[in-house]
Each structure stands twice: as C-alpha cells, then as structure tokens.
Amino acid sequence: MSKLSHTTSKGKANMVDVGDKPQQIRIAKAIGIIYLQAATLQLIHENLIKKGDVLTIAEIAGIQAAKQTPQLIPLCHTLMLTKVEVKCTLIESGVQAESMVKCIGQTGVEMEALTAVSVALLTIYDMCKAVDKTMVIGDVTLMSKEKKDVI
C-alpha cells in the first residue's frame, strides 16, 4: 500500500500542496443506490410524495453538494467545477443515483462525485421517510476517474 498523502510523518492531518501539479482536465463518476419498498417506488413514479418531485430535487441536491464538498470534507481543495451532472433513475429495487463531475485543475474530483451521489440519496431518504421505514442507502462507489492534459 502506498503512503497516505494527507498525513505528516508524525501522523497529523495535512492538506496536500498541489501547487506544483499541472492543470489537467479531471473527471470522476460515482454511483449509489437507495433501496426502497415497491409502494414507495410507485409513489415516486406517480409523483405523489408530499414533499414534491423526488428525483428532480435529489438531482439538484446532488449538484449543490458537489459544489460544497470542501466545506464538508476538511482536507479537500476548493475547485472550480466546470460540470456536475446527477441522474437519479428508478430501478426495480429502489433509486440509482449517478454523478459525473468535471474540472480543470491540479487535483481530482472524486470526492465531489461521491458527495453528489451521497447527498442525492440522502435527499431521497428525507423525502420518503414518512412512507418508508425500511430504506437503506448503499453501494456508493467511485466508478471511474480520469485526467488528461489540457490542449
């Protein structure tokens, strides 16, 4: 296993200096699921959840969350995000949230992509908690990350 970059030689927290790294196009994608009862899925499908349009509100919450990641995760750098997409889709067992986050910068956007998915799923939980007491959020995973030189 490689050495952790966010700790000093004495094990103290450390924000990594990325100042000498080149500007690159950075893209990260994440995915996650909230498992719901069939009746809850039907209410979402028919837009009958009292708090409103669950999927659209969750997508917007995920976008907002990606932009707030440095305020939530202490050692994350503030990045100028150039694109955030969050898509929530009804699936047989619940709702799947997917995110894609992009920036041109000196460090990656993995945490922003994971935060977007996590908050989208938490928003669904909040909106559906009155009708479903068995919801489970899980399988939040970084699907891919890439970097390429700016041309």
CB atoms within 10 A of CB 45: 11
- pLDDT tens-digit series, residues 102-119: 999 999 999 999 999 999
CATH match of 25-149 with 3.30.70.640: yes
DSSP state of 118: H
Q: What is the distance between the alpha carbons of residues 105 and 144, in angstroms, rounded to a whole number?
A: 17
The C-alpha angle 91, 94, 99, rounded to 5 degrees, equals: 75
- pLDDT tens-digit series, residues 26-49: 999 999 999 999 999 999 999 999
Which pTM does this prediction carry?
A: 0.92
Q: Which residues are catalytic?
A: 126
pLDDT of residue 111: 97
pLDDT of residue 20: 86
